[in-house]
Chain A
């Protein structure tokens, strides 16, 4: 029985991680209108820089400075932000579907590089010997509860941050030029600069959040950062309600619980391949059904931003 409970703890933790990813995606895609299909690449940059800079053992890598965790997290965040800048400058020159495909292309390039630059990233072998925060405080299985609490504390933090951003003039401007770029420019707004800023901010945040994902999965390999991460995040956002405030969290919670519960119902042991396959089938079905019957998602943008003028009065 405790095995099931621990499994559920894991599911809820992963749901929290995806909730954060979905909230970041909501900022750049939902509010600023940038349909980013490459977020897995930015998370990869953050995760790899984090793990590489905090590694203490020097075997088969040329760079392992062994920094403390907080420094590694900052480094990962900055690296992802810089990657976003490099990707953003050319990509934002094209719009709509072209931007979508360009960001996807960059993410795939990053993944290939992580496989091929073995002397830095240890290729497909990756990293699996590393410590996690506060590990000394609790026993083995108890750590899962700690990680759960940590992740969801950060979910709350990010939610409050997004709410602040969303209700600010900055957020208002994003939701404006998302729908009508020419009018925004005719009012004197330098919309390209705002888009790039938002994209880089998203990159910084993806990178900052990557350590959580690393601590949860407990290894860092290129297969961790496939486009599946991107698509699951998008599905979570779309189910929950794109451009709303609570949508990303709701969507991630529902999606992860549904797909992982399917794995639980499948049974144990010998049906390993079918198990993994069922997860994809459920993910696909959920996305298809939501697009068919409730494409706007569960939460919506109107409710999230209603009565803006009254928030200033009083």
Chain B
């Protein structure tokens, strides 16, 4: 049905955004609230490239991704690296501060109004019982391709293997001679670029506004925790699950309750399995 398509789209975007978030959590060790603002940045940059610079949408998306990726690395060096010694809570609060800083800057630069991507992707197609726009198909396809590429990168390349090693055991990785700095920059670039891509996707199917970051980070957190903070595949599954849950629930309850549904699923999930659905390591309460 129609809602399943919506759910897949929402879920795909959420999965892309959350994978990056989860990578940061695993390799850098803290929860980065500013991830939502990077998403917003991606959305606005994408809009800027399409509407003002009049780039082709695909190029604009790519450009936004790369730019946000680089900004992510820059922020990691300037803002997060110096605080790393103070522990994950200090880094968490730093990320909250950064989120507010970016939020304010985005509003100043791009304004507080709502805009949307002027593209031709609104054309609807009829595929049997469902009715989709080109944009929606594009998002799901691109998301699948990106995830596939990411999986290849993580398993087939040397850098990818280093990243996985660092994610599961940073100390051991360091001892084995893995260049943790390079791994760190790579992770920040990839994670931020993914956030930027998610932002562009959000812009494609919906509106672009400065508040995006705050609403998105909440659902990202839900997906990350539900998937198990230590598992990338879990996070992908959780993203899709929440996307489907949110849009399918629209069949029974008012759509304004979407985020409530997401959190309801999260809270239920945590009660049943406190370590997340697919956690690599268990987190039992003694």
The 8 Å CB contact of B101, one of A115, A284, A291, is A284
In angstroms, Cα B109 to Cα A278, docked, is 12
Q: Using known A-B contacts A274-B108, A287-B93, determine if residue A280 contacts B101 with beta carbons closer than 8 Å.
A: yes
Q: Is A102 an interface residue (CB 8 A)?
A: yes
**Which of B112, B257, B264, B270 lies in contact with A273, CB distance below 8 A?**
B112
Asked if A281 and B100 sit within 8 Å, CB to CB, the answer is yes
Binds B, one of A53-61, A90-98, A167-175: A90-98
B96 touching A115, Cβ below 8 Å? no
Contact residues of B between 250 and 286, Cβ < 8 Å to A: 254, 256-257, 259-260, 263-264, 266-267, 270-271, 274, 283, 285-286
Is B83 located at the chain interface by the 8 A CB criterion? yes
Say yes or no: is A160 at the interface (Cβ < 8 Å to chain B).
no
Q: How large is the interface on B (under 10, 10 to 19, 20 to 34, 35 or more residues)?
A: 35 or more
Contact with B along A111-125 (1 / 0, CB 8 A): 011011000000000
Interface locus among A44-52, A151-159, A230-238: A230-238
A116-B257 contact in complex given A234-B93, A277-B108, A279-B104, C-beta closer than 8 Å: yes
CB of A263, distance to nearest CB on chain B (Å): 12
Quick check: A287 and B97 within 8 Å, CB to CB?
A: yes
Cβ of A295 within 8 Å of any chain B Cβ, yes or no, is: yes
> A98 to B257, Cβ gap below 8 A?
no
Q: Which residues between 256 and 314 of chain A lie within 8 Å of chain B, taking CB atoms?
A: 273-274, 276-288, 291-292, 295
Contact B266 A105 (CB under 8 A): yes
| B67 within 8 A of partner (CB) | no
Interface SS of B by simple majority:
helix
Contact of A291 with B104 at beta-carbon distance under 8 Å, contacts A101-B225, A105-B266 already known? no
8 Å CB contact of A291 from B94, B102, B257: B94
For the complex, count residues of A whose C-beta is within 8 A of B: 45
Please measure, in the bound complex, the distance between the C-alpha atom of A284 and the C-alpha atom of B100, giving whole angstroms. 5
Known: A288-B94, A291-B90, A292-B83. A231 touches B271 (CB 8 A): no
Could you tell me if A94 and B264 are in contact, using CB atoms closer than 8 angstroms? Answer: no
Task: Flag whether B148 is at the interface (Cβ < 8 A).
Answer: no
Cβ A287 vs Cβ B218 within 8 A: no
Contact of B98 among A93, A95, A112, A288 (CB under 8 A): A288
Q: In the assembled complex, which residues on chain A have CB atoms less than 8 Å from the CB atom of B285?
A: 93-95
Contact (Cβ within 8 A) A235 B31:
no
Q: B residues engaging A (CB < 8 A)? A: 31, 79, 82-83, 86, 89-91, 93-94, 96-105, 107-108, 111-112, 214, 218, 221-222, 225, 229, 254, 256-257, 259-260, 263-264, 266-267, 270-271, 274, 283, 285-286
Q: What would be 10 A-B contacts, judged by CB atoms less than 8 Å apart?
A: A90-B267, A97-B31, A112-B257, A235-B96, A235-B97, A273-B112, A277-B105, A285-B97, A287-B93, A291-B83
* Sample of 10 more A-B contacts, CB < 8 Å, known A231-B96, A281-B101, A283-B97: A90-B267, A102-B266, A104-B218, A108-B218, A109-B263, A112-B260, A181-B286, A234-B96, A274-B108, A283-B100
Which residue numbers of A lie inside 8 Å of B, CB to CB? 35, 90, 93-95, 97-98, 100-102, 104-106, 108-109, 112-113, 115-116, 181-182, 226-227, 231, 234-235, 238, 273-274, 276-288, 291-292, 295
